Structure 1
């Protein structure tokens, strides 16, 4: 049972906005922030200091599975929110690609379903990550929601999407805004935000409803990283957030956009 301190602990997280999502389907809370590493303390708030780790379902342009520089120094979730928040801000990489394995080290995340198209340099590429406490975590990587939905509905030999979802008691749904961008072929330093119709085709492809029902039926919280420097800057990322929110909140979660 959560205490009043648990209910208001997010107010201690500078730069994290908590949204109530009552009345829709799936999670009742969302946490919005800019640097993706702030997902770590946000997940700590959502899950509390004890209980089973959650399955992470994350949508991102990058496969954020770089091993933290000092994984054994990641605090356990029982150390409390302040320790995890401080670690995320001061010890994790400012490039925001090691928070997933850090959350596994902390005991917040068990397995992970990673919908991502690109691998940062140094990303862990194995199917199983064994943390410094000796716990094994399955990493199931697919490139698109369409591929995840197909593997859920019609699993081929070796597909593990259904396995990790069936095994999970609860799910953390995580979205990086840069999932809905591409790099320009003409200039690889230029980021191209997707129009709303392409966002919808990616997030809600035909046949994906059974997959989303399985995910949202267990989802306890949504985290949303805006990452403006990966989305074309402040103005471009603001416009992209508006378009993504219409699809993500109104059409997928069936609540009013923030």
Structure 2
């Protein structure tokens, strides 16, 4: 019978693909899955039970800060990867928008830097989330990488990007594929994947290199959610993944394609 230690040595979570990243910059491992809530056990696996919570830097179309229905029921990270995996699959919302605050409840994530443009109904709107254990978590929200880089390079009064990054010991870099999509003005139910050139402009805008250096020097893992239902379907999301991977892995992380 496989023990928790075995699970920590060999990631065996249904639907989660672990990738080894070598020869580039930033993290050594990436975790790819479809439903974004599977980030919860992936973060637990990447961080282990020791060490302080990580700063989460997440790129998403949606601000996934809806409070879990039962935040007090989220297992602590000390319960192990399996407990958090089970909670993510069977207790978190299938709409995949409450895993971020669940990770704070679990003690995996401390503060969060959220690059996101849309706020789902019910999303927590404050600048500080206090979890059910009494711990405070800063939520720093910017709409684009360009804005995050500007706040890093030339902080204005009230900007907290540099503050949370400099205060972090470890970073989890999280990317939702739907970050690189927009809703059609003609039909709000139609999702429009971005072409590669626009992906590159968003992810690697001019002047963003110092910001990315600060993020990647502390990043211990990359998580990548594909969420095809938010990206135009299976075929469209597959093509989008290919284009995003070219920019994300080759140009940002300077490593090979997965």
Give the TM-score normalised by the residue count of structure 2: 0.97
What's the C-alpha RMSD, in Å, of the aligned pairs? 0.7
Name the structure 1 match of 2:223: 223
Aligned partner of residue 175 in structure 1, secondary structure: strand
- Give, in whole Å, the separation in 2 of the partners of 1:89 and 1:221: 21
The answer to whether the 8 A contact 1:50-1:77 is kept is no
Task: Map 1:146-161; keep pairs closer than 5 Å.
Answer: 146-161=146-161
The answer to whether the 8 A contact 2:18-2:31 is kept is yes
Name the structure 1 match of 2:119: 119
- Give, in whole Å, the separation in 2 of the partners of 1:164 and 1:180: 25
Kindly state the Cα deviation for residue 239 of structure 1 after the two structures are TM-superposed. Answer: 0.1
- Give, in whole Å, the separation in 2 of the partners of 1:186 and 1:6: 47
Aligned partner of residue 95 in structure 1, secondary structure: coil
Name the structure 2 match of 1:77: 77
- Is residue 41 of structure 1 aligned with residue 41 of structure 2? yes
Runs ≥4 residues deviating over 2 A = 3-7
- Give, in whole Å, the separation in 2 of the partners of 1:7 and 1:90: 24
Name the structure 2 match of 1:95: 95
Aligned partner of residue 56 in structure 1, secondary structure: strand
Kindly state the Cα deviation for residue 49 of structure 1 after the two structures are TM-superposed. Answer: 1.5
Name the structure 1 match of 2:177: 177
Name the structure 1 match of 2:137: 137
- Give, in whole Å, the separation in 1 of the partners of 2:14 and 2:215: 29
Name the structure 1 match of 2:193: 193
Q: How many residues align?
A: 254
Name the structure 1 match of 2:165: 165
Kindly state the Cα deviation for residue 7 of structure 1 after the two structures are TM-superposed. Answer: 2.4
Aligned partner of residue 117 in structure 1, secondary structure: strand
Kindly state the Cα deviation for residue 16 of structure 1 after the two structures are TM-superposed. Answer: 0.1
Gap runs ≥5 in structure 1: none
Aligned partner of residue 250 in structure 2, secondary structure: helix
Kindly state the Cα deviation for residue 4 of structure 1 after the two structures are TM-superposed. Answer: 6.1
The answer to whether the 8 A contact 1:60-1:115 is kept is yes
Name the structure 1 match of 2:59: 59
Name the structure 1 match of 2:15: 15
Name the structure 2 match of 1:106: 106
Aligned partner of residue 123 in structure 2, secondary structure: coil
Aligned partner of residue 155 in structure 1, secondary structure: coil
Aligned partner of residue 121 in structure 1, secondary structure: coil
- Give, in whole Å, the separation in 2 of the partners of 1:112 and 1:248: 20
Kindly state the Cα deviation for residue 22 of structure 1 after the two structures are TM-superposed. Answer: 1.2
